[in-house]
Amino acid sequence: MARSLVVASIGLLCSSSFASALSWNATEYMFVFGDSYSTDGYNISAGINSPVPGYTSSDGQNWVQFLTGTYNQKAVKTFDLAYSGATIDAALVPPYRPTVLSVVDQVAQFDKYLASKPSGAAWDSTNSLFAVWIGINDIGNSESWTNITRVKFYGTLMDRLFSQVEDLHSKGARSFLFLTVPSVNRAPLYIQQGPKAAAKMGTNVAEYNTQLTQSVRTFKSKHPDLDTVTVVDTQPIFNVLLDNWQTFGFVNVTGYCEAYENGTPTTTYQVEDCAPVSNYFWLNDLHPLFTVHNILAKAVSTALSGYPATQIAI
Ligand SMILES: *[C@@H]1O[C@H](CO)[C@@H](O)[C@H](O)[C@H]1NC(C)=O
Ligand SMILES: *[C@@H]1O[C@H](CO)[C@@H](O)[C@H](O)[C@H]1NC(C)=O
Ligand SMILES: *[C@@H]1O[C@H](CO)[C@@H](O)[C@H](O)[C@H]1NC(C)=O
Ligand SMILES: *[C@@H]1O[C@H](CO)[C@@H](O)[C@H](O)[C@H]1NC(C)=O
């Protein structure tokens, strides 16, 4: 009995060391689904070789660009389908403008332009990472609704989100990266609404993140053929920076400089009455600066390389 247990566990160890898990240093393609925190302005509707204008919400590079351009170990071809203002599904939570492409729309774009692995995007299951960072606008835009209970409604959102993840899986996606919703309750937009509103937002973000993590676990348990599935918790990253802002060299983490809110001509720009733009945490009422994205991207690359820090075990 004891002997067969030992043999069985040696067998397990062997099979896991033979498994070919996609690690960050072997990733050649990355597909990104999300909102303004992730977009780079790429518009695949004009063809997969459309230029990447690099329009971000961070007044510089965002986490996708830092991850694939600074913290990469290999050339990573990125198809960033994220869209500013995106929700999971506009039919569940309307975006701020009707033209915004939701995650459902972004996955439809993947299906239309990329699923067939055309020349220029000849990805395969073993070298491709599918990144999903969504939820800020779903939570924020439904914050005032009184016709839902959060627990139930976020469950509906998760069902919809994971129907899209299932779609990607059916097209051959095997490695996924999920990011939790960060501490947007600590952004000026919510601080300005007072401590009660900010606390409520914080509670809702926590509930969303709990359900997201649970949904990833369910997804993983359903599919033994999944390769690397990583959940990066952005909460401790944001919170450590926000709690220790002076140590990290931020001049202000509760407000922003209005002269910078729509972007600045350079990343070292400064106006009278404000510190240089790079010394702030928030560019405007909801978006962190490139400095924050840089730190986040570094943490994501560490998680993708298999280290447990900032990962939620699933
Ligand atoms: C993306 O490209 C399509 C096709 O060229 C165009 O119709 C659409 O307006 C573009 N979207 C944006 C946001 O520029
Ligand atoms: C709740 O109310 C909002 C705003 O009026 C609406 O857009 C949404 O569809 C409603 N949701 C549900 C689940 O009834
Ligand atoms: C940060 O900026 C906000 C808005 O301008 C201001 O109310 C607050 O006092 C500032 N905090 C610090 C520590 O300077
Ligand atoms: C890639 O990373 C994995 C662990 O994440 C490591 O085992 C492997 O040796 C690395 N390969 C190269 C070529 O550096």
Give residue-wise pLDDT tens across range 99-113.
999 999 999 999 999
Percentage, residues of the chain above pLDDT 90: 92
**The pLDDT of residue 308:** 86
Q: What is the pTM of this model?
A: 0.93
User: At residue 227, does pLDDT exceed 60?
Assistant: yes
Is residue 55 packed enough to be buried (19+ CB in 10 Å), middle (13-18) or exposed (0-12)? middle
Query: Does residue 4 register a pLDDT over 80?
Result: no
- Given pLDDT bands bounded at 50, 70 and 90, which one contains residue 310? confident
Report the largest interatomic distance among the alpha carbons of the chain, rounded to a whole angstrom. Answer: 77
Pocket residues for ligand 1 (CB within 6 Å)?
43, 45-46
Closest protein CA for atom 11 of ligand 4: 25
Query: Ligand 2, closest atom to CA 94?
Result: 7
| Mean pLDDT, range 11-26, rounded to an integer | 59
Model pLDDT for residues 51-60, shown as the tens digit of each residue = 999 999 999 9
Mutate to test the pocket of ligand 1, among 43, 50, 97, 112 (most ligand atoms within 8 A of CB): 43
User: How far apart are alpha carbons 134 and 111 in whole angstroms?
Assistant: 19
| CA atoms within 13 Å, Cβ hemisphere of 203 | 10
Least distant ligand from the CA of 188: 3
**Angle between helices 150-170 and 195-222 in degrees, nearest 10:** 40
Q: What is the pLDDT of residues 241-268, one digit of tens each?
A: 999 999 999 999 999 999 999 999 999 9
pLDDT confidence of 20, banded at 50, 70, 90? low
Counting from 1 in the atom list of ligand 2, the atom nearest the Cα of 147 is 1
Q: How confident is the model at residue 309 (pLDDT cuts 50, 70, 90)?
A: confident
